[in-house]
Structure 1
């Protein structure tokens, strides 16, 4: 009777006291840092006086500029950060930690010249107790210096070793100063919250919640404590409370566990992401003081994967559809504020997605917080990419990262999958089928089994996955498909391989041979540069239109096959990959939004197919400025894409209704007869009784088919040689047209052929080389070789003629890329060529050659003032002296 009476009275004391108690304080310290790029000899013991420091704020990266310039490679090495903390005398009686959400990739933290800790790995959080190294005065604030030595150099012991993304250096996520009582929830548990929440049983009628963790007692004597856990609903109403007495061991940790049940739980799902809140408290039983408090989200759901029927959430089938996401932003590297991380998840949710693959590494905590809140199911993975190092240090770092990832993110209800080893067989070491390679493969499989077992030891409730590239036979032979619970496939038929139809065949083959193993399409995508458009889209043309076609086929196939549990588009956003040399150098443009988060047509396509609310959008991202050749009606017909979840679309052009057309998988394509000048396009559809409309203004420059006896109706004519696409330069308000052969009275090339890369199966025209000295690489990546002439049968007048050249055969000399193990410096002789350029019979460029202006992979342009006289127009001739003449681009502008 006395015990029963004592506890309620004691609880009242706790409640009153805790209302006025100060628990842990978590304070961001992102401002007023100093930065030095490069190593500093003498640090941390002695600071040289001549070192120049730059004032920065966190998040910060030192690779915001060198990853997009024309210089191959980017800085990977040591840099230093410095900050002064002004701390009160009270820190003497507190436990003080420095908490880093992420810093790439090896961090050493010094406080007042003493090493507080070292962390390996660029994508997980870490924290160090700095209490022993602090100075504190008696009354006033005392200065304490923090130094961080950071190194993002290639290190064969640290994943990722190689990948199609940039390994930015910097303290690129938030930094916090945390002070806590000498008795607190474990703050040395791999930078986790110290509390682990499990839901071992959830169904529509009941939910069992397990709360466990450790209490740290820094005092030299045992302490009598009470652990109190409060569960509140989404409105903040307290619905459950449990308290347990604990005797905390002196100078150590004491484990605890509590359980609670909720009847008729409000379940969490993408359509209803209902979150409870769990607050865990430590209370001193002798004084009633609140010593520490930690809050975590609680989402109640249950789920399963079925190899034949896909994914189930809360007992109902749900096709997982979403995207993968990289963490960088244009001109910011990966040093992003939380608002951008959150907005990316909102972009996904607004697309109608229910799934995100957080690839290829754990990302900012704001991401999963947004997933919990918005209702996005998530897969998270550690950055073992492309290949491994066969060493204990590499294996140990991999396993350390997996533990950190799981423990730091354990309490997020959005997470359903822990993953590892993305495309780990993409670049096998050693000679094919050699004994060395077979041992290497065995090492990979052994490491996978170790990580798999470790993951289940850390979290027995969630699924595991290995994302594999499309070499089906190799992954099966090595045995990786047998290790995880789910196999992910990164598939690109129709992009990296020719036949898009092979995608469906691959899925069927896998399911037939592995009928008991669930699968997810973890990557699929096609590059699209928002400046490039095509009326006849084709593989590898980087056009917006081909990307749309590609995703139409893939989504339809994925939805048709119930055994495909889900799919993640590669990628939500365009992201930096410094070594890429495509139409947009250093950028992987497979995103369905740009690096600035501007949606492409493919994004609208998914909205049309995934959103439940009425939706309609006129497509052709960025193609609001167009050009084309006039027909007999003085119009030019080009397609306009409409994306909607309606079944019929009406389209108006300049106030006149053109057509009422049925949609196909959310898309309707109209042929619009554009006129010169401004064209108003209006589309409308009725969706579930709601009328959806969109209007677009398109400025069209109509080029006359024949110039003779007609006034000139254009300001400039821009032609991309060897090209079949349109290129829109919005900054200069220019549209580059595909080439055409010359015919009398018009314009065009005479002779030659379209340049194609030798032994290249990816694209049928042009080059994928980085072209230096221009930001219009796509124009200079195509050319006509062996060209004899280019003619314009323009009326008499004064013109400005610009010629553009780029030598595409041979490579510019470049240094070894420091992030590629064993990659030698690239040197190759340019093709020897020389030719004269003549305008209207006069030699204007004598002996243009690879010995002067034709520097490999470098744009060379030159402009001439030309008079067209005596109805002869303008003729540019190319006279070969050695090899073939070339032309990449030509522009003609009438002056008067």
Structure 2
């Protein structure tokens, strides 16, 4: 089954949960505060009556309480209790069947009520869990007055709470928001009196010709049935039935070992051919039939000692990135469509590996990794802060067990992560390395006991690096420490220090739309130290030694150079297992209020709304298979310099050769050479004409031809101190108005290197489209090359927009 983008095989969401399962997306009410008690959620009130308080808001699921305030530049994001409520028509078709609520993830502590009866609770925002509401629903239905009051429906109320809590993972010191709400799907599930709760399918490969599938089941038998039949059927990736086996059951409940299914000449799973078999498990009892479908991928992998990574016996350079569950306008509440779009963009970039940071992520993401052929490191949210007490430690073990059991069948998973930056104290008065080591050993042993087929790993905790199977140190060459040309030297030292090495987290921040004619200027003041680790305070924009993260320009130009250097070096490191760039998409964080987009970690190669930055194409030029060519600077409308001065134009392409044309004239053709930095030799020094310029490139890979074109202005006038702001409407489409603010000096010359803060405002009938965490979706943002964009939803009425830059007069625009 050759992989093709846009054709994603997904066997009914990997493992069908429940014989009948319905997503509960609509019909919800939300309250962003606490109640005096559950009675306030269900007491009868009439709409419009002043007694009908508090006021609830209509929402649909998934929903995050912090969808906007996580990146509001003027407030701390909400951490506290919140409520959801709905009314369900519960009609279980099975005699003596069970009715469940299945939560794919809810943050961070959750309580569930049927009418006023508490039916379940959960601690942890990222693992899946279920609540059996059968008995409470049956009791409710026996009360005729309540059935009449709720018109035959059953009231469900859910309290979520993301309050700060030192005895809960993850730490609030973590570099990401600890979100609250029902931010993953909630399902109403009907099960018969006996059903298959979990399937554990372990495929193994001997050589390339012999495969075996070991199957274990966890069967729930709340009806205490005495006999039944299990049937297994295995289908190959083309849907052909390969095997069928049956087993009679006596009294049964809990874990059941079915045995082994041999498979000859298995089609191997990998990034290029993510071949997925399908295991069908059917339990038949007097209560009915229950069928579960599970994907199966045959593959083998090995981290060679002091050597590279092997997949199916061949070296594979892991070309990776990271993902946070975060998106503009919805925060953690990403829909399945959004997740699919994001993962396809990763695959098109050439990614074959991903570390899911720093918590168990949605089953949908794991399904997509299986189907797209993306290998996975997934980890629990033991992240920063130190080590808590018994409650804290029990939660970590419980989340590790849940993550492994719930994602056991995904062939994409090769690593279970046990922690991140656990050398970072702060949550507790005690920071005891030996106690941390002891707990890490306990997690490591637990992971191996639950799943001996995968490796364990941690990132950045040197005093625990001998405990896990694979270790990733902190290497941020050219960002938090040192210069990027030290990358290979520093990485080799770290590689030699452990048996199995994998470098996750590298890169740096870039402010989308900001570009530079001299991006490496800041490197003049940064010393090459032979070390590139991130240390305490390095992420701060203040104090400490000179470093690009503090003293650089945060331009896309610099980050493209940094990433270009890393990628070209990785091609000359035959011992390297692989790396994962941090992070694919910009994401929100409460500990970075002073970044150019406040409260945003801007290390993504795409913005928080999936708008591609220039760095995306740098990765494509090294990793993608499909021919591509991209001229640097699509979001750079005005370049600057002296008249007659040569300027570099770079083309990122994976083609063999490319020819550049400037204003209709050829600047010559060049051959691609990955070791010719920058842009693999596809760069031209040309003289730009004053005013408008057009550049296009024709690139060839064999018989295939790709093209790209950009237009931009070239400004030769020098500017002085910023003196005025101009605000104008540049676009209106489908009721959305785009405004652009520009900064000029006293002679009306645009200040093209200005990075001042600008604050947008709006009064009237329109709506400011801000709190999105993007360069064009924040009311407070740093300028990029003396300009900034904001959008407004007109709402069919009149408004007045404003723009204020620091000490300069505010400007207004009637809309």
Q: TM-score range by the shorter chain?
A: 0.7 to 0.9
> For 2:749 and 2:57, how far apart are their aligned partners in 1?
56
> For 2:99 and 2:750, how far apart are their aligned partners in 1?
73
- Structure-2 residue corresponding to 1:777: 782
- Correspondence for 1:175 among 186, 196, 200: 186
Compare 68-77 and 52-61 and name the one that shifted more. 68-77
Q: Is the 8 A contact 1:600 1:621 kept in 2?
A: no
- Structure-2 residue corresponding to 1:113: 116
> For 2:714 and 2:240, how far apart are their aligned partners in 1?
63
Q: Is the 8 A contact 1:327 1:363 kept in 2?
A: yes
Rate the CA distance shift 1:124–1:220 in 2: closer, same or farther, 3 A: closer
Q: Is the 8 A contact 1:37 1:78 kept in 2?
A: yes
Q: Is the 8 A contact 2:302 2:311 kept in 1?
A: yes
| 2:586 counterpart of 1:574 | yes
Deviations 1:472-502 (A, max 9, x none): xxx44x3x01110000123212111133244
> For 2:502 and 2:84, how far apart are their aligned partners in 1?
42
- Structure possessing the higher relative contact order (Cα contacts under 8 Å, 6 or more residues apart): 2
**1:684 alignment partner, SS class:** strand
- Structure-2 residue corresponding to 1:304: 302
Deviations 1:577-627 (A, max 9, x none): 13311112111111011111122221111111112232212222411x114
Rate the CA distance shift 1:361–1:282 in 2: closer, same or farther, 3 A: same
> For 1:359 and 1:720, how far apart are their aligned partners in 2?
41
- Correspondence for 2:62 among 43, 59, 63: 59
**2:153 alignment partner, SS class:** strand
> For 2:427 and 2:106, how far apart are their aligned partners in 1?
29
- Structure-1 residue corresponding to 2:623: 610
Rate the CA distance shift 1:230–1:648 in 2: closer, same or farther, 3 A: same
Superposed displacement of residue 45, structure 1: 7.4
Rate the CA distance shift 1:231–1:176 in 2: closer, same or farther, 3 A: same
> For 1:601 and 1:773, how far apart are their aligned partners in 2?
20
Superposed displacement of residue 353, structure 1: 1.4
- Give me the CA root mean square deviation: 3.3
| 2:66 counterpart of 1:84 | no
- Structure-2 residue corresponding to 1:338: 336
Superposed displacement of residue 861, structure 1: 3.1
> For 1:84 and 1:93, how far apart are their aligned partners in 2?
22
| 2:394 counterpart of 1:446 | no
- Structure-2 residue corresponding to 1:401: 399
Q: Is the 8 A contact 1:297 1:412 kept in 2?
A: yes
> For 1:45 and 1:181, how far apart are their aligned partners in 2?
34
Superposed displacement of residue 690, structure 1: 1.8
Deviations 1:767-812 (A, max 9, x none): xxx9x99634247999xxxxxxxxxxxxxxxxxxx99864xxxxxx
Compare 36-45 and 591-600 and name the one that shifted more. 36-45
Q: Is the 8 A contact 1:466 1:488 kept in 2?
A: yes
- Structure-1 residue corresponding to 2:523: none
Q: Is the 8 A contact 1:97 1:131 kept in 2?
A: yes
- Structure-1 residue corresponding to 2:163: 153
> For 2:628 and 2:665, how far apart are their aligned partners in 1?
23
Compare 39-48 and 229-238 and name the one that shifted more. 39-48
**2:512 alignment partner, SS class:** coil
Deviations 1:217-239 (A, max 9, x none): 2234522x111011112222211
- Correspondence for 2:484 among 500, 515, 521: 500
Q: Is the 8 A contact 2:81 2:160 kept in 1?
A: yes
Deviations 1:440-498 (A, max 9, x none): 11111111111000000110100000011xxxxxx44x3x0111000012321211113
Q: Is the 8 A contact 1:518 1:563 kept in 2?
A: no
> For 1:522 and 1:699, how far apart are their aligned partners in 2?
37
Compare 131-140 and 411-420 and name the one that shifted more. 131-140
- Structure-1 residue corresponding to 2:502: 520
> For 1:103 and 1:773, how far apart are their aligned partners in 2?
27
> For 1:376 and 1:89, how far apart are their aligned partners in 2?
38
**2:341 alignment partner, SS class:** helix
- Structure-2 residue corresponding to 1:855: none
- Structure-2 residue corresponding to 1:41: 36
Q: Is the 8 A contact 1:59 1:172 kept in 2?
A: yes
> For 1:311 and 1:322, how far apart are their aligned partners in 2?
13
> For 1:593 and 1:615, how far apart are their aligned partners in 2?
17
Superposed displacement of residue 341, structure 1: 1.1
- Correspondence for 1:368 among 366, 369, 390: 366
Superposed displacement of residue 523, structure 1: 0.3
Superposed displacement of residue 290, structure 1: 5.0
> For 2:75 and 2:426, how far apart are their aligned partners in 1?
25
**1:420 alignment partner, SS class:** strand
> For 2:440 and 2:18, how far apart are their aligned partners in 1?
42
Deviations 1:506-552 (A, max 9, x none): 222223333xx111111001111122100110333110110011111
- Structure-2 residue corresponding to 1:674: 688
- Normalised by the length of structure 1, the TM-score is 0.73
- Correspondence for 1:692 among 683, 703, 706: 706
- Structure-2 residue corresponding to 1:219: 223
| 2:715 counterpart of 1:702 | yes
**1:107 alignment partner, SS class:** strand
Superposed displacement of residue 90, structure 1: 4.2
| 2:127 counterpart of 1:143 | no
Rate the CA distance shift 1:430–1:280 in 2: closer, same or farther, 3 A: closer
Q: Is the 8 A contact 1:23 1:290 kept in 2?
A: no
Superposed displacement of residue 184, structure 1: 0.7
**1:248 alignment partner, SS class:** coil
> For 1:863 and 1:344, how far apart are their aligned partners in 2?
38
Rate the CA distance shift 1:627–1:87 in 2: closer, same or farther, 3 A: same
> For 2:803 and 2:54, how far apart are their aligned partners in 1?
48
Superposed displacement of residue 41, structure 1: 0.2
Aligned counterparts, 1:264-275, within 5 A: 264-275=265-276
Deviations 1:607-661 (A, max 9, x none): 11112232212222411x1143551x6xx65432211112432111121112323
- Correspondence for 1:313 among 294, 311, 314: 311
Q: Is the 8 A contact 1:31 1:57 kept in 2?
A: yes
Rate the CA distance shift 1:405–1:607 in 2: closer, same or farther, 3 A: same
Rate the CA distance shift 1:219–1:67 in 2: closer, same or farther, 3 A: closer
Superposed displacement of residue 266, structure 1: 0.7
Q: Is the 8 A contact 1:229 1:280 kept in 2?
A: yes
> For 1:222 and 1:171, how far apart are their aligned partners in 2?
38
Q: Is the 8 A contact 1:780 1:805 kept in 2?
A: no
Q: Is the 8 A contact 1:525 1:570 kept in 2?
A: yes
- Structure-1 residue corresponding to 2:572: 560
Superposed displacement of residue 505, structure 1: 2.8
Gaps of at least 5 residues in structure 1 are 1-21, 187-193, 469-474, 706-716, 722-728, 756-769, 783-801, 807-858, 865-896
- Correspondence for 1:462 among 454, 468, 475: 454
> For 1:695 and 1:326, how far apart are their aligned partners in 2?
33
| 2:269 counterpart of 1:258 | no
- Normalised by the length of structure 2, the TM-score is 0.80
> For 2:805 and 2:299, how far apart are their aligned partners in 1?
61
**1:490 alignment partner, SS class:** coil
> For 2:784 and 2:300, how far apart are their aligned partners in 1?
53
> For 1:317 and 1:269, how far apart are their aligned partners in 2?
12
Bigger Rg over Cα: 1
**1:147 alignment partner, SS class:** strand
User: How many residues align structurally?
Assistant: 698
Deviations 1:275-296 (A, max 9, x none): 1111100123xx7x85211110
> For 1:805 and 1:376, how far apart are their aligned partners in 2?
45
Compare 457-466 and 43-52 and name the one that shifted more. 43-52
> For 1:611 and 1:746, how far apart are their aligned partners in 2?
44
Superposed displacement of residue 70, structure 1: 2.5
